[in-house]
Amino acid sequence: MTHVLALPAGTELVGDYLIERVLGAGGFGITYLAQELALARDVTIKEYFPGDFAARGASHDAVPRSQDCAGDYQWGLDRFIAEAQTLARFDHRNIVRVYRYFRANNTGYMVLQFEEGQSLKAWLGSLGRALRQHEIDRFLTPLLDALELIHRADYLHRDIAPDNIIIRRDGAPVLIDFGSARGDVARHSRTVSALVKPGYSPYEQYAETGSQQGPWTDIYALAATLYHAVTGKRPPDAPSRIVRDGIVPAREAALSSYRAGFLAAIDRALALDIEKRPQSIAEWRGALLAPEPRRPGWLQRTIGKAAGGDGPPRKSEPLAAPLGGAVPPPPDAPGAQGGLLEYIERLKKQSAPPDDPKPDPQPPPSQPEADPKSPAETLALPRTAALPRAEDPPAAAQRPSRKRLPRPRRVRAGGERGWWPLTLKLMVGAGVAAAAVGLQDELPGFEVRGAVTQTGAVAEIELARQLEGHAGGSMAVAFAADGRWIVTAGADGMLKIWDAATSSVMRSADLGGSKVTALSVLDRRALTGHEDGSVQLWDLARAERVGQFRRNQASVWSVAFMGEPTRFLSASHDWAVAVWDTRAGSAPVMDIAAHESAVQSVAYTSRGYLASGGADRLVKLWDASSGDAIRTYRGHRDFVSAVAFSPDGRLLASGSRDGHVRLWSTASHRVHRTLSRNAGQVGALAFSPAGDLLAAASADGKVRVWNIRRGRLMRSYGDGSAGFRSIAFAPDGRWLAAASDSGAVRLWETGGLLGAR
- Compute the Cα dihedral for 267, 271, 276, 281 and give only its sign: positive
**Fold category of 120-289 in CATH:** Transferase(Phosphotransferase); domain 1 (1.10.510)
| Beta strands 544-550 and 41-48, pairing class | unpaired
Compute the distance between CA of residue 110 and CA of residue 499 in angstroms, rounded to an integer.
Answer: 56
In sequence order, the 6+-apart residues with CB closer than 8 A to the CB of 746 are 463, 465, 466, 467, 717, 718, 737, 738, 740
CA–CA dist 706, 21 (Å, integer): 66
Q: How far is CA 234 from the centre of its chain?
A: 30
Q: What is the full DSSP assignment across 657-721?
A: TTS-EEEEETTSS-EEEEEPPPSS-EEEEEE-TTSSEEEEEETTS-EEEEETTTTEEEEEE--SS
Distance CA(101)–CA(111), nearest Å, equals: 6
Is the model's pLDDT at 311 over the cut of 90?
no
pTM beyond 0.85: the answer is no
Amino acid sitting at position 622 = W
Phi first, then psi, for residue 655 (nearest 5°) are: -125, 150
Highest mean predicted confidence (pLDDT) among 172-181, 274-283, 671-680: 274-283
Q: pLDDT confidence of 413, banded at 50, 70, 90?
A: very low
Judged against a pLDDT cut of 80, whether residue 562 lies above it is answered with yes
**How far is it, in rounded angstroms, from Cα 69 to Cα 55?**
11
pLDDT in tens, 681-716: 899 999 999 999 999 999 888 999 999 888 888 888
Buried b / exposed e along 387-419 (16+ C-beta atoms within 10 A)? eeeeeeeeeeeeeeeeeeeeeeeeeeeeeeeee
Please, are residues 611 and 620 in contact by the beta-carbon 8 Å criterion?
Answer: yes
Strand (E) or helix (H) holding 104: strand 98-104
Weakest mean pLDDT among 24-28, 126-130, 248-252, 560-564? 24-28
Bridge pairing between strands 485-490 and 712-717:
unpaired
Give residue 300's pLDDT: 62
Q: What is the pLDDT of residue 33?
A: 94
Asked if residue 454 has pLDDT above 70, the reply is: no
What phi and psi values does residue 79 have, to the nearest 5 degrees?
A: -65, -35
pLDDT at 392 over 50: no
CB contact at 8 A, 642 and 661: no
List the single range of 56-70, 134-148, 472-486 with lowest mean pLDDT. 56-70
The Cα 136–Cα 129 span in angstroms is 13
Please tell me the distance from the alpha carbon of residue 174 to that of residue 164, in angstroms, as a whole number.
8
Residue 84 has pLDDT above 50, yes or no: yes
**What mean pLDDT, rounded, does the chain reach?**
79
Query: What DSSP designation does 634 have?
Result: -
Measure the CA–CA gap between 374 and 368, rounded to whole angstroms.
16
The half-sphere exposure of 476 on its side-chain side, counting CA atoms within 13 A, is 28
Rounded CA separation 568/737 (Å): 23
Exposure class string for 2-20: b at 16+ Cβ within 10 A, else e: eeeebbeeeeebeebbebb
Q: Is the CB of residue 642 less than 8 Å from the CB of residue 655?
A: yes
Nearest to 183 by CA among 192, 175, 174: 192
Instruction: Return the CATH number of the domain spanning residue range 12-113.
Output: 3.30.200.20
**Nearest-10 Cα torsion for 115, 116, 121, 122:** 160
Q: How many CA atoms lie within 13 A of 327 on its CB side?
A: 30
Which distant-in-sequence residues (6+ apart) come within 8 Å of 236 by Cβ?
A: 199, 245, 246, 247
CA atoms of 158 and 187, how far apart (whole Å): 13
Quickly count: other Cβ atoms within 10 Å of residue 481's Cβ: 12
- pLDDT tens-digit map of 612-636: 999 889 999 999 988 999 999 998 9
Side chain identity, residue 733: G
Domain boundaries of the chain, sorted by first residue = 12-113, 120-289, 457-473+680-757
